[in-house]
Each structure stands twice: as structure tokens, then as C-alpha cells.
Structure 1
């Protein structure tokens, strides 16, 4: 299936059913009074998480969704049936905006698997609602109210723990294929990766993380050059970035690759520019061990780099086990810190006072 990470759809909630006007007419009940029932509420439109989806491709063919209207009220105080809600399956990481007002409606995540897109219209009231001591025979009712209608913009940001960033042909796809079961396209020319490709990296039988590869970045990517700018948002949900650096660059120096990617991340967003990032020097198999270490050390010294760095060969698998375990340990430590912080915040929240 073709990968699609942007789409526009129209959603229409159902209208509420109108109230009914009628009077009780039975033998031996001369003053039956009004008995018109209310209409039914209109159906609403929801987005729900579907873990089996990883693209918005279905939205290319089905672009309009409409919930059912509420039914009319009836006599004998019968309330009309409510319109049936509809639920639109979407992949985790889908960000939803109103395309006309740019209002943020929500995001499909494991903690928010259901988002209201359009609320159904309120029901109309039957004439039984309007009887009073001074109005014994009301002939008024209210119509159902229209449901919400929205033109929506959907953007998919792949949910992953680790993102790969680097220039074209840095070896990102080869690394993903070597560390996971993913099989991205690999070739000896730039931009072989045309869309984000996630993969699950299993460090141990019960320890794993999700890593995503995006198309290679080039200078000016944040402003629209190349392909990577369109997919940079897929790195925004990651906890850690691995920047692949070619130890045998065709043009420019080893350190210059790091600067180029860092500049593009910062220009795209300050948050992404400040994301934890490790340097991963790739293609060590093309040099002897001492030369690869010397090239990596020179780049680290030139950049004044203080973060973690690794030397690997994605093609031969050299250094990948060490890298995978280091990433897994870091992610587990980060998750433990976040869980402890959440627990502390919950304990610090004062209990509601008893009335």
C-alpha cells in the first residue's frame, strides 16, 4: 500500500430529529392533553485508533463521512431514535486540524485513542414539553438542530522511539534493515527512501524499540529542498535522534555533515533542534579500524561534541549490538524517569475536599 501521511476529509454530524405535536385521543379520556415526543439526537463523528494502520491511504478514496440524523419524535410521548455515531479508523500519530480555521482538534495516541471530530445536533422538543398550568394545549415544538460539519486536515507523524537523520546515502536504510525486520529499499544512489519506514529493533526477547528512517536531508531541507523537509515531522514524536555520519563522504568533511543536519533540525523547529542526538559514524568497513577511529575522533574534536558517539558498519553489522543496547538502556532510563515524575506529580496533587 502506498504511504500517505497527509489527507483532507469532510465530516458531517447528523442533525437532531424534530419534536412531534400530537394530543392524546382515547375513549373516556376527554382531556388527554399533549403527548408529542422529542426527536432523537443526531449522530456524532469520531476518529479512533487502529493499530493495524500505518498510513492515511484509505482517506484518498473515502473523503466524506456523514453520521445518521436523529429520528422524528412520535405521539404517545415516544422519543425518536438517536442517529448512529460513526467511527473513522486512523493510525496512531494522526494529528487532526480544522482545515478552515486551523483549530487543533486532537491527536490519535495510545492515551487518546478516540477524538470527537463533529458533534451531532441536539434533538427537537415535542409539544408535551411545553404544557403548563396556563397552556394546557400547546401546539408548539422545536425542530432538530443541525450537526457540526468540518473540513479536516490530517497529518500523520509516525510513532517511534528513535529517529534516523542524515544526508542521502549515509546508510540509514541499511542500518534499519540490519537492526530490524524492516526491508526498506537500498541502492547506491541518493533518495532511495521516499517515505518514512519504521522498524522494530529487538535487543533481547523482551526488550525492543521502534526506529524510523526518513528520506535523506540536504542543505535547505527545512525550506523545501529535497524530500526530507516534508517528513521531518515524523521525527517530532521520537525521544532520541541517531545522526548517521558517512566516514567516507564524497563531498565536504565528516564534521560538515553534522553541522548541515543540525542546522536543518533547528530551522524546522526549536524543539526538534534540542532533541537528544547521538552521532553514529557509519561505513567503518571502508577503512581500517585505526583510520576510522581517527576520522571519528577528529570530527568530534572539531565539533566540540560532548554527547555519545559510535563507530559502526551498517553493511557488515559491526558495532550494531553495542549501539542497540546503548539505545535500549537510554530509553528505559528515560521511561523510568518519566514514570517517577508522573507518580510524584500525582502524589503532590491535593485530594478533593469532602463536602
Structure 2
């Protein structure tokens, strides 16, 4: 199975939490007492539906076919003030960077960013109070207790934003997949046509001294992506979570390097102005086709206030220097 078919970044789930158990209306009895005071315990809480962050997961694939998630009901309260057992919670493990939204309003409820972080997706009903809570000076033996609170049924959207240290940004066929395949263990599909990369490909880049960082090839932006054209918003959201953006412009672009970089930048800004705060590096790809004179001329024309580097994934040119640059930016 290719990563394309394995990568699921959006699921819609119906979570149903458990009902709270009813409180008990028991009256105390023993050998000496035929009708004592109230000693009915409280009902148990209904099970929650919970989401938990798991750093080992990269996709929501395991939830794709779990449309309904149902937690257990709480148990009834017992005599001698015994509280009923709480219903078992239903726990959904999700990758870090999962955003939880209300399916009807689209409103963001929360986001899971840490391993082991747990948040309640749908809250279980509270258990009902036992009859001993209702005892008073005028009512010595209440023969009633409270029913448990009903659980809830809510539709939620789970949406993944890929968490990576470096996000590759460039038009289709800027050489992003090739770079990823050369400097990481990822095996993305590579082809010289728009939208070869239909889902984000993630790869681990090995660095000096057994260190590493995560690189994500985000599907190619085209002009108008911020308005939802092409593959639009769905992919731009993956770039939001990267700590460094590596802009990639091929040396053989029909525009100038600076012009193409500025178009990419404008797309990102239109989509989310906060993206402009991220550190940026520019890589001019496919530069094995340039001789020294031409490269020197292009350097003069670039005139940008960000670090830039000429690389070739195929000829392995400038890749170590690129890793050094990225590592420095990630750890600023």
C-alpha cells in the first residue's frame, strides 16, 4: 500500500458518551432495624469519549472506518452508600497535530500537541444522587433518588495538521519529492507533472552525530491555492505547523527566482498571515544544469533578505550545506 492510500488526514466521528447510573433509594435494614434511614449510594458516571495524543501515529487511518464510538453507561448506586461503578471511557489515539472541531459549526474545540495528552471529546453523564442526599429534618426517610444524567451524542471532525520541523514549499515539479527521496528514507512518488504529491510525505533526515529532524513535502501550491483552487486549503493547513519553511524554486523557472519566490510567499500570506513569522530558507533546485558563470549571475539577481542556497538532489550538490542551514534555523 503506498503512503498515498495510507495517509488519512480527515475523519468524521459520532461519539456517544455513557449515561450516568441512577442513584439508589435504599433504606437501611439489618437484624435490629427493619426500616432505617436512607443509605442509597450515588450512580456511577457515564463513560467519556476521550482523545489521546500518540507520537507514534502519523495518520488518522485507524479511525477511518470507526464512524460510531460508544462509551459504557454508569452503574446504579447500591445500599450502604456504595457508589455505582463508572462506565468505561472509550479512548481514541490520535497523532500529534490533530485538531478537533464541532461537525455542525466547524468551530475548533481543541488541538492535541503532546504525547499522552488526553482531552474529553464527549462528556459522560453524571451519576444520579442517592436518597441519603435528600434527607432533612422534615423528611427523615426519602424514598426517592435521582436518575443519572443522559450521555450525549455529538458528531466531531478530527483533522490532522502534520507536525514537522521543515516544510517544503514550492510549485508542482520544483523538485520537492526528489529532495525528500534523496535526503530522507521516504519514498514519495516522483513525476514531472502538477500534483504528483497528493498527500504530505514525511521523512526523517539524518544529521551529524546521530541527530535527526522531520521534513514534510507538502503538495504543490499553485497560484490561487489560498482561494481554494487546485488542491487549495486542505494542503496549505499542513504548512501551518512546520517550524521552518524551505522554499524551493527550480533554476529553470520561466520566471525570475525572486518573482517565483514572491508568488509563493503571497499565497501563504493570503492563506494565513501568521505564516510570515516562520523562518524561511530558499533553495534553488536543479542547479546541476548551471555553469559557474550563470550561477554567479543568478546570485546577483536574487536580492532577497533570506538565506539561499543552490542545490541539486540528483547530483547531490549542496545537500550537506542545506542540512546545516536547516539545522541552524530549527534550533534557533
Superposed pair shares fold, TM > 0.5: yes
> Which shows bigger deviation, 108-117 or 135-144?
108-117
Q: Is the 8 A contact 2:98 2:111 kept in 1?
A: yes
> Which shows bigger deviation, 148-157 or 110-119?
110-119
How far does residue 228 in structure 1 lie from its aligned partner after superposition? 4.8
Matching residue of 1:195? 199
Give the Cα–Cα distance (whole angstroms) in 2 for the partners of residues 102 and 248 of structure 1: 42
Matching residue of 2:295? 292
Give the Cα–Cα distance (whole angstroms) in 1 for the partners of residues 281 and 152 of structure 2: 47
Q: Which runs of 4+ in 1 moved over 6 A?
A: none
Q: Is the 8 A contact 1:222 1:267 kept in 2?
A: yes
Give the Cα–Cα distance (whole angstroms) in 2 for the partners of residues 144 and 31 of structure 1: 26
Matching residue of 1:87? 91
2:251 to 237, 247, 250: 247
Q: Is the 8 A contact 2:24 2:77 kept in 1?
A: yes
Matching residue of 2:216? 212
CA-based RMSD: 1.7
Q: Which TM-score applies when normalising by structure 2?
A: 0.93
Matching residue of 1:326? 325
How far does residue 147 in structure 1 lie from its aligned partner after superposition? 2.6
How far does residue 297 in structure 1 lie from its aligned partner after superposition? 2.8
> Which shows bigger deviation, 40-49 or 141-150?
141-150
Give the Cα–Cα distance (whole angstroms) in 1 for the partners of residues 99 and 122 of structure 2: 15
Give the Cα–Cα distance (whole angstroms) in 2 for the partners of residues 255 and 118 of structure 1: 49
Paired residue total: 328
How far does residue 150 in structure 1 lie from its aligned partner after superposition? 2.2
User: Does 2:227 match 1:227?
Assistant: no
Give the Cα–Cα distance (whole angstroms) in 1 for the partners of residues 12 and 109 of structure 2: 14
User: Does 2:16 match 1:12?
Assistant: yes
Q: Is the 8 A contact 1:207 1:328 kept in 2?
A: no
1:156 to 150, 157, 160: 160
> Which shows bigger deviation, 225-234 or 256-265?
225-234
Q: Deviations over 1:19-56 (max 9, x none)?
A: 12222333332442222221111111110112232111
Q: Is the 8 A contact 1:247 1:254 kept in 2?
A: yes
Give the Cα–Cα distance (whole angstroms) in 2 for the partners of residues 28 and 168 of structure 1: 86
User: Does 2:176 match 1:172?
Assistant: yes
Q: Which TM-score applies when normalising by structure 1?
A: 0.87
How far does residue 134 in structure 1 lie from its aligned partner after superposition? 2.2
SS of the counterpart of 1:261?
helix
Q: Is the 8 A contact 2:54 2:116 kept in 1?
A: no
Matching residue of 2:280? 277
How far does residue 133 in structure 1 lie from its aligned partner after superposition? 2.9
Give the Cα–Cα distance (whole angstroms) in 2 for the partners of residues 243 and 297 of structure 1: 18
Structure 2 runs not aligned, ≥5 long: none
Matching residue of 2:316? 317
Matching residue of 2:37? 33
1:138 to 137, 142, 147: 142
Q: Is the 8 A contact 2:172 2:220 kept in 1?
A: yes
Structure 1 runs not aligned, ≥5 long: 335-355
How far does residue 141 in structure 1 lie from its aligned partner after superposition? 0.8
